Amino acid sequence: MDIISDFQYVRDIPYRLPLGLSEEDFSCSAKHKILKERLAKKGHEARYRVCSFLWSSLGLPKEISSIPHDDYSTHLFLEVLIDEKWLTVDATWDIGLRNIFHINEWDGKSNTEIAVIAIKIFTPQESAEIMDGADEAEEIKELEANGEFYRAFNGWLEGNRGVSAPIG
């Protein structure tokens, strides 16, 4: 597989927020960790980038957006070093969500769009610190505050998802 195929493979894992610590995670964070590992195996340097965004900027239906949740959140994507230039690579939304979100294609030579409307893009160092500082207690607190919203969001994605590539 080349890096474009790796990108497409990871992109087309159906996006899903975990609803518990024991659930499989296919959020932006998990998907980009997978992509970073796949790229590293092929000798490509990649680094995490974190940005902040508002869930309300995604244009969610009222029945989803009205569920109490933290509007402010963070999003993870990658920068990949290609020909001595850092390229933005975001494999968040799977092809099955093409009816509701912009789905990135990547040619291996240019930037993709970031999957959310970024409020602030943290520096590479800040992004690494955010990723290193994530802990289980914070995840539990976030799930307690946002679990009902995440469940409804996942359900909305499933209901709007077209045919997507199987995981495997």
| Per-residue model confidence (pLDDT) at position 1 | 58
| pLDDT of 140 | 85
- Going 121 to 105 to 96 to 102, the CA torsion angle's sign is positive
How high is the pLDDT of residue 164? 45
For 126-153, give one letter per residue: b (16+ CB within 10 A) or e. ebeeebeeeeeeeeeeebeebbebbebb
**How far apart are the C-alpha atoms of 120 and 130, rounded to whole Å?**
14
pLDDT by residue, tens only, the chain of 168 residues:
599 999 999 999 999 999 988 899 999 999 999 999 999 999 999 999 999 999 999 999 999 999 999 999 999 999 999 999 999 999 999 999 999 999 999 999 999 999 999 999 999 999 999 998 877 888 888 889 999 999 999 999 999 997 444 444
Domain assignment present for 167: no
In whole angstroms, give the CA distance from residue 149 to residue 11: 23
Q: Is residue 79 part of a domain?
A: yes
Would 14 be classed as within a structural domain?
A: yes
- What local confidence, expressed as pLDDT, does residue 5 receive? 97
pTM comes to: 0.91
User: Residue 51: inside a domain, yes or no?
Assistant: yes
Residue range of the domain that includes 139: 3-124+132-160
Q: What's the structural domain count of the chain?
A: 1
Q: For residue 12, what are its two tokens?
A: 């087309």
Asked if residue 165 belongs to a domain, the reply is no
CB 83 within 8 A of CB 153: no
**What's residue 13's pLDDT?**
97
Q: Is 61 a domain residue? A: yes
> Would you say residue 78 lies in a domain?
yes
Tokens 């990135």: give the residue: 104
Whether 168 is in a domain gets the answer no
